[in-house]
Amino acid sequence: MTQDAADRSKRVLAALVREYIASGEPVASSLLVTAAGLGVSSATVRSILARLEEEGYVQQPHTSAGRIPTDRGYRFYVDLLLDSKRPNRSATAVEARLRRESPNGLLDSLLPQVSHMLSQASRGVGFAVRPAHEAAVFDRVEFVPLSALRVLVVIVASGGHVIQKVIDLGEPLGGDDLRQAANYLNEEFSGLPLHRAREAVLERINAERSLYDALRDRALRLATSTFSDLPDDRPMYVEGASSLLDDATGLTVQTLQALLQMIDEKQKLLQLLNEYIDGPGLTVVIGAEHLDPSLRPFSLVLSTYDDGSGIGTVGVIGPTRMHYSRAIAAVDGAAQAVSRLLRDPN
């Protein structure tokens, strides 16, 4: 394919995605002749669409209908938006509004406003999550033997928060062994956020694979079970779930129920967000790219903010046919505004 032909295909695909996002209807080749602004015939556009369909960027829901983008087509479009992203002028306006509506600059009043603003701007679900350092911090652990092979684990976190769980040991351990293991873990990991403690344990195990110290080996194996599956208790502010009930989203009741349940539980959604965030800045997850199959009818736009001592998250969730340019601008602007406001509350 020549460079000119490749450029024409990109322009046709971008125009098709824009038109489908705007209308929700399959896009006919005759419409794209004008929308893509190529100055070519309808037959040429049909040929381009046939090639895009073969390559998995578009699909034809009915033989007589126009085309709609696939998740791969949306990914092409979003990458195009991100590559051409200009400085976000909306961040200043968002910051000014947040200063008016949350004059104390505290997260408890700031983040609910952010989730509300993102929901309004994107017409989807807006959310905001506190930084990790705001989560409960590990203080100490105690092991209470229940039988030769089962132990009650009592985890005490900051503010007197107590979590209890029962674990199977796999080997019989006496009271002295359990006390020594608890003392070691309390000395090594006290002061870490709970959701970070398990990562620290695994890092320690990987760094000390040839442990000859039986106490440390036993303590770290106990810690692996102790810190697994603990709740990430950071507050998460969510708004706009009702917007997904609009008929225009094209989502089924079952699909909506799966997302609404995840939003209601929050814990599962937080775990997914942690999986997606691999660094500062914007992340867009589209349809089939989701780790959880129940989220594949949706797209997620999120970004991190920094309060000077930790990373939090803001973002939106909506159907794959979301207005990506609007959502990206809103999320990016909110993240920048929150970072600036928290670093300079005055």
The tens digit of pLDDT for each residue in 136-170 reads 778 888 888 888 788 888 888 776 677 788 888 77
Whether residues 253 and 159 share a domain: the answer is: no
Whether residues 112 and 11 share a domain: the answer is: no
Whether residues 44 and 162 share a domain: the answer is: no
In a domain, 76, yes or no: no
Whether residues 238 and 329 share a domain: the answer is: yes
Condensed to tens digits (0 to 9), the pLDDT of residues 227-238 reads: 776 666 677 888
Whether residues 196 and 60 share a domain: the answer is: no
DSSP code, position 102: -
Whether residues 126 and 141 share a domain: the answer is: no
pLDDT-based confidence at residue 185 (cuts at 50, 70, 90)? confident
* pLDDT: which is higher, 251 or 305: 305
* pLDDT reading at 225 higher than 70: yes
Whether residues 328 and 243 share a domain: the answer is: yes
Whether residues 152 and 269 share a domain: the answer is: no
Give dist(CA 57, CA 231) in Å, integer.
Answer: 39
* pLDDT: which is higher, 48 or 6: 48
Whether residues 288 and 302 share a domain: the answer is: yes
Give dist(CA 313, CA 303) in Å, integer.
Answer: 6
pLDDT of 233 reads: 62
Whether residues 117 and 144 share a domain: the answer is: no
pLDDT-based confidence at residue 204 (cuts at 50, 70, 90)? confident
Q: Is-contact 333 309, C-beta < 8 A?
A: no
Condensed to tens digits (0 to 9), the pLDDT of residues 304-337 reads: 998 776 788 999 998 999 999 999 999 999 999 8
Whether residues 141 and 249 share a domain: the answer is: no
Q: What is the CATH number of the domain that holds 198?
A: 3.30.390.60
pLDDT of 207 reads: 66
In a domain, 279, yes or no: yes
* pLDDT reading at 123 higher than 80: yes
Nearest residue to 78 (alpha-carbon basis) of 22, 29, 17, 24: 17
Instruction: List the strands of the sheet with 298-306, edge to edge.
Output: 236-239, 125-129, 311-319, 298-306, 282-286
Q: Is-contact 301 328, C-beta < 8 A?
A: yes
Amino acid at 171: E
pLDDT of 40 reads: 77
Report the range out of 128-142, 260-274, 326-340 with the highest average pLDDT: 326-340
- Other Cβ atoms within 10 Å of 256 Cβ, number: 17
Nearest residue to 215 (alpha-carbon basis) of 261, 267, 179: 179
Specify the 3-state DSSP secondary structure of 47: helix
In a domain, 178, yes or no: yes
Domain that holds residue 288: 85-133+233-343
Whether residues 180 and 215 share a domain: the answer is: yes
For the chain, the domain total comes to 3
